[in-house]
Amino acid sequence: MTSTQSITAAILCCLSLVYSIETSANSWRVNYDKRANADFQDLNAAMTDGRVVNGDTLYMDKGCTISSQQTISKTVTVIGPGYFIGENDADEAYFSNTIFIEASDVKLTGLHTSSIEVRENDAVIERCRVTGYIAASQGYENDNASIFSCFINGYVEGQGANGADEWKILGNIFYAQNPSFYNLISNFDNVLIDHNTLYYFRDAYTSIISSVFNSTITNNIIVCDHYTVSNIANTSVENGNRISHNISNKEINNSDVNPNNILADIKQATIFNENGERDANYIEALPTEWMTYASDGGSVGAFGGAYPYVKNGYPLYVPRFESISVPSQPGQDGKLHINLVIKNQNK
């Protein structure tokens, strides 16, 4: 074994020890690369293995890419290392195909995913980067899903009056630059859309939020940098919704019924530095009057509310390497002094 291999093994041993402290005994490693010697190569393999039972946790290794469709058929938590938009993408756990959630109470956190189809109740999608869509599959019972603190380059779609009841979409950043789709959130009945930042640019007439009924749309920042009918469509305002304390750069139709919405001259540069592709470029320091304008007395947008956005999507209470320093030469005592800093995400 080379010195580099020895150092790598020691680091993995340290991390395994931390995980054993922080998690239950029923935890498993997933990595598609056989050389990683993980418990499973993908989620499908874990689901068909009798050792994996409801309540277990699956940890995705850094840099793990899975390109086939995945179906989650057991009540498990899937935890990735977080996402690092445009910075350290190679460290992400990336699912380039669709994940189908077919068990209740499934939780996904810290992943980079393409698309997610929800086919059971009580799913939680938290601190994930989604480059495709999150959808309630038609014809399935998929109520009470939660989407918390995600960076979404795609869209979220429900089933209208046919299902997807009581979804919660909280603390997310939606960023769509010239997308192929027309809405960021659509086709819901009885959904809570609160404390999100929604940005959309496309040379087409559209509405950012559309076909949403009997719902609460509050404390959001809603920006369309080009053509739009309205940031919230007519049907949304006229069908039993509570729409208040939103900051929008386009008029919210019938907003006289909701006097607490603000029409403001917002551009991409108001809420993002540079090109906005990296979540780290999202500006936390909003205009002063917005920092206390939300209905709860706090800030509007993704950094306020009960589930404020967390940059890089670090999973809650999961340890991670903050820094590793390996000297090129041993010290005077002849030993190689490795400085390893492990942090626990506590917010």
What pLDDT score does 347 carry?
Answer: 64
What is the DSSP code string of 116-165? EEE-SSS-EEES-EESSEEEE-TTS---S-EEES-EESSEEEEEETTS-T
**pLDDT at residue 312, as a whole number:** 75
56, 26 contact by CB (below 8 A): yes
pTM of the model: 0.85
pLDDT at residue number 297: 94
Query: Residue 256's pLDDT is what?
Result: 45
Instruction: Sort 151 into a burial class: Cβ within 10 Å, 0-12 / 13-18 / 19+.
Output: buried
Below-70 pLDDT ranges, the chain: 1-25, 85-89, 203-205, 227-230, 233-238, 253-258, 273-285, 317-323, 340-347
The per-residue pLDDT for range 221-231, each reduced to its tens digit, is 998 877 655 67
Nearest to 302 by CA among 318, 278, 283: 283
Rounded CA separation 208/222 (Å)? 8
Closest to 246 (Cα-Cα) out of 258, 230, 256:
258
Let me know: does 153 contact 276? Beta carbons within 8 Å. no
For residue 281, which amino acid is it?
N
Residue 31: other Cβ atoms inside 10 A: 22
